[in-house]
Structure 1
Amino acid sequence: MENLSVDLETFSSVNLGKCGVYKYAESDDFEILLFGYSVDGSEVKVVDLAQGETIPDTVLSALTDETVTKWAFNAQFERVCLSRYLRDKGINLNPGQTVKSEGLFLNPSSWHCTMIWSATLGLPMSLESVGAVLGLDKQKLTEGKNLIKYFCLPCNPTKVNGGRTRNKYFHDKEKWKQFKSYNKRDVEVELSIQEKLSRFPVPNFLWQEFYLDQTINDRGIGIDPLFVESAIKLDQEVKTHLMSELKHITGLENPNSVLQMRSWLKKHGLEMESLGKKEVAKELKTVGKELAEVLRLRQQLAKSSVKKYTAMKNAACMDYRERGMFRFYGANRTGRFAGRLVQLQNLPQNHLPDLAEARSLVKQGNVEALEMLYEDIPDTLSQLIRTAFIPRTGLKFIVADFSAIEARVLAWLAGEKWRMRVFEEGKDIYCSSASQMFSVPVEKHGVNGHLRQKGKIAELACIAEGELVLTDEGLVPIEEVTTKQKVWDGENWVNHNGVVFKGVKEVIEYEGLRATPDHLVWVKGKPKPIRFIESAICKTHLIQTGDGRRTIRLGENHKCRETLESKAKPLLCTDTMRRVRKCPMAGLKQSKVGQIKRVSSLLTAETNTNMVRKAAKCCKTAMHQSKRSKLQKLWCKRDKVVLPFCFRSRLVDFTRGRQCAKRLGIRSDKYKRQLRKRKYPLCSKNSQSKQQAERYPNTVGATILAIRKIGSYKNAIERNGQRRNHIKSKYSCSATQKKLAFNRSKARVYDIRNAGPNHRFTVSGKLVHNCGYGGAVGALKAMGALDMGLHEDDLQQLVNDWRSANPHIVSLWWDVDRAVKQCVHERISVRTHNIVFTYKSGFLIIKLPSKRCLYYVKPRVEENKYGGESVTYEGVGSTKKWERLESYGPKFVENITQAIARDILLYAMQTLKEYRIVAHVHDEAIIETDKSVSVQSVCELMGRTPPWAEGLLLRADGYECEFYKKD
Structure 2
Amino acid sequence: MKHLSIDIETYSSVDIGKAGAYRYAQSEDFEVLLFAYKADETPTEVVDLASGEVIPDEIVNALRDPAVTKHAYNAAFEWYCLNRAGLETPIEQWECTMVHGLYCGYPAGLEAIGKAIGLPEDKQKLATGKALIRYFCSPCKPTKSNGGRVRNLPVHAPEKWKLFVDYNRQDVETEYAIQQRLNRFPMPESEWEAWREDIRMNADGVRVDTQLIEGALMLDSESKSRLLCTAREIAGLDNPNSSPQMLSWLKSQGVEADDLQKATVAKLLDREDLPEQVRQVLRIRQQLSRTSVKKYVAMQTALGEGDRIRGLLQFYGAGRSGRWAGRLVQCQNLPRNYISTLDSARELVRAKNYDGVKMIYGDVSDTLSQLIRTAFVPSEGGKLIVSDFSAIEARVIAWLAKEDWVLDVFRSGGDIYCATASQMFGVPVEKHGVNGELRQKGKVATLALGYQGGANALIAMGALNMGIPEEELPDIVAKWRNANPRIRQMWYDFESAAVETVRTGETHQVYGITFRTEADLLYGQFFLTVELPSGRKLFYCKPYLKENQFGKSAVHHMGINQNTRKWEETSTYGGKLVENVVQAIARDCLEVTLERVRVAGYRVVMHIHDEIVIDARADQYLKDVNAIFAEPIPWAPGLPLNGDGFESPYYKKD
TM-score (structure 2 length as normaliser): 0.92
How far 1:133 sits from its partner (Å)? 1.6
1:858 aligns with 2:536: no
Q: How does 1:101-116 map to 2 (within 5 A)?
A: 106-116=89-99
1:456 aligns with 2:431: no
Kept in 2: contact 1:940–1:956 (CA 8 A): yes
Kept in 1: contact 2:448–2:461 (CA 8 A): no
Give the aligned partner of residue 232 of structure 2: 247
How far 1:925 sits from its partner (Å)? 0.3
Give the aligned partner of residue 523 of structure 2: none
Provide the secondary structure at the position in 2 that maps to 1:124. Answer: coil
Q: What amino acid is the match of 2:311?
A: G
CA distance 1:46–1:955, shift in 2 (3 Å): same
How far 1:813 sits from its partner (Å)? 1.0
Give the aligned partner of residue 569 of structure 2: 884
Give the aligned partner of residue 831 of structure 1: 509
Partner Cα separation in structure 1 for residue 249 and residue 422 of structure 2: 44
Give the aligned partner of residue 165 of structure 1: 150
Gaps of 5+ in 1: 94-105, 461-516, 519-530, 532-774
CA deviation profile, 1:721-768 (whole Å, cap 9, x unmatched): xxxxxxxxxxxxxxxxxxxxxxxxxxxxxxxxxxxxxxxxxxxxxxxx
Kept in 2: contact 1:871–1:888 (CA 8 A): yes
Q: How does 1:555-954 map to 2 (within 5 A)?
A: 776=455, 798-841=476-519, 842-877=526-561, 878-913=563-598, 914-954=601-641
1:153 aligns with 2:138: yes
Q: What amino acid is the match of 2:573?
A: Y
1:369 aligns with 2:356: yes
CA deviation profile, 1:492-516 (whole Å, cap 9, x unmatched): xxxxxxxxxxxxxxxxxxxxxxxxx
CA distance 1:110–1:136, shift in 2 (3 Å): same
Provide the secondary structure at the position in 2 that maps to 1:408. Answer: helix
How far 1:448 sits from its partner (Å)? 7.5
How far 1:253 sits from its partner (Å)? 3.9
Q: What amino acid is the match of 2:116?
A: V
Partner Cα separation in structure 2 for residue 885 and residue 166 of structure 1: 45
Give the aligned partner of residue 441 of structure 1: 430
CA distance 1:839–1:796, shift in 2 (3 Å): closer
Q: What amino acid is the match of 1:228?
A: I
1:212 aligns with 2:212: no
1:339 aligns with 2:326: yes
Give the aligned partner of residue 106 of structure 2: 123
CA distance 1:814–1:63, shift in 2 (3 Å): same
Q: What amino acid is the match of 2:190?
A: F
Provide the secondary structure at the position in 1 that maps to 2:85. Answer: helix
How far 1:61 sits from its partner (Å)? 2.8
How far 1:196 sits from its partner (Å)? 1.6
Kept in 2: contact 1:454–1:783 (CA 8 A): no
Say which one has the larger Rg: 1
How far 1:458 sits from its partner (Å)? 9.2
Q: How does 1:217-232 map to 2 (within 5 A)?
A: 217-232=202-217
- The counterpart of 2:307, out of the listed 304, 309, 320, is 320
Provide the secondary structure at the position in 2 that maps to 1:13. Answer: coil
Provide the secondary structure at the position in 1 that maps to 2:647. Answer: strand
Q: What amino acid is the match of 1:372?
A: M
1:353 aligns with 2:340: yes
Provide the secondary structure at the position in 1 that maps to 2:304. Answer: coil
How far 1:871 sits from its partner (Å)? 2.1
Partner Cα separation in structure 2 for residue 295 and residue 435 of structure 1: 43
Provide the secondary structure at the position in 1 that maps to 2:306. Answer: coil
How far 1:250 sits from its partner (Å)? 2.8
Kept in 1: contact 2:444–2:463 (CA 8 A): no
1:957 aligns with 2:650: no
TM-score (structure 1 length as normaliser): 0.63
Give the aligned partner of residue 2 of structure 2: 2
Give the aligned partner of residue 268 of structure 1: 253
CA distance 1:885–1:788, shift in 2 (3 Å): closer
Q: What amino acid is the match of 1:831?
A: Q
Gaps of 5+ in 2: 520-525
Partner Cα separation in structure 2 for residue 299 and residue 958 of structure 1: 33
Q: What amino acid is the match of 1:954?
A: L
Partner Cα separation in structure 2 for residue 18 and residue 296 of structure 1: 31
How far 1:452 sits from its partner (Å)? 8.8
Give the aligned partner of residue 180 of structure 2: 195
Q: What amino acid is the match of 2:639?
A: L
Kept in 2: contact 1:432–1:442 (CA 8 A): no
CA RMSD of aligned residues (A): 2.5
CA deviation profile, 1:834-871 (whole Å, cap 9, x unmatched): 11111112101011111100001111211334544332
Give the aligned partner of residue 566 of structure 1: none
Kept in 2: contact 1:41–1:191 (CA 8 A): no
Q: What amino acid is the match of 1:840?
A: E
Greater percentage in helix? 2
CA deviation profile, 1:664-714 (whole Å, cap 9, x unmatched): xxxxxxxxxxxxxxxxxxxxxxxxxxxxxxxxxxxxxxxxxxxxxxxxxxx
Q: What amino acid is the match of 2:557?
A: Y
Partner Cα separation in structure 2 for residue 20 and residue 296 of structure 1: 35
Q: What amino acid is the match of 2:111?
A: E
Partner Cα separation in structure 1 for residue 142 and residue 439 of structure 2: 57
CA distance 1:882–1:403, shift in 2 (3 Å): same
Partner Cα separation in structure 1 for residue 319 and residue 35 of structure 2: 29
How far 1:290 sits from its partner (Å)? 2.3
Partner Cα separation in structure 1 for residue 442 and residue 346 of structure 2: 27
Partner Cα separation in structure 2 for residue 21 and residue 785 of structure 1: 41
CA distance 1:826–1:271, shift in 2 (3 Å): farther
Q: What amino acid is the match of 1:34?
A: L
CA distance 1:429–1:280, shift in 2 (3 Å): farther
Partner Cα separation in structure 2 for residue 316 and residue 884 of structure 1: 40
Provide the secondary structure at the position in 2 that maps to 1:32. Answer: strand
Kept in 2: contact 1:209–1:906 (CA 8 A): yes
CA deviation profile, 1:216-237 (whole Å, cap 9, x unmatched): 1011100011111110111011
The number of aligned residues is 636
Provide the secondary structure at the position in 2 that maps to 1:915. Answer: coil
CA deviation profile, 1:161-199 (whole Å, cap 9, x unmatched): 111111100111111111111111111111111112221
1:182 aligns with 2:167: yes
Q: What amino acid is the match of 1:921?
A: I
Percent identity over the alignment is 48
How far 1:784 sits from its partner (Å)? 5.8
CA deviation profile, 1:908-958 (whole Å, cap 9, x unmatched): 001011311000011000011211112111111122121100111100112
Q: What amino acid is the match of 2:106?
A: L
How far 1:453 sits from its partner (Å)? 9.2
Partner Cα separation in structure 1 for residue 422 and residue 293 of structure 2: 35
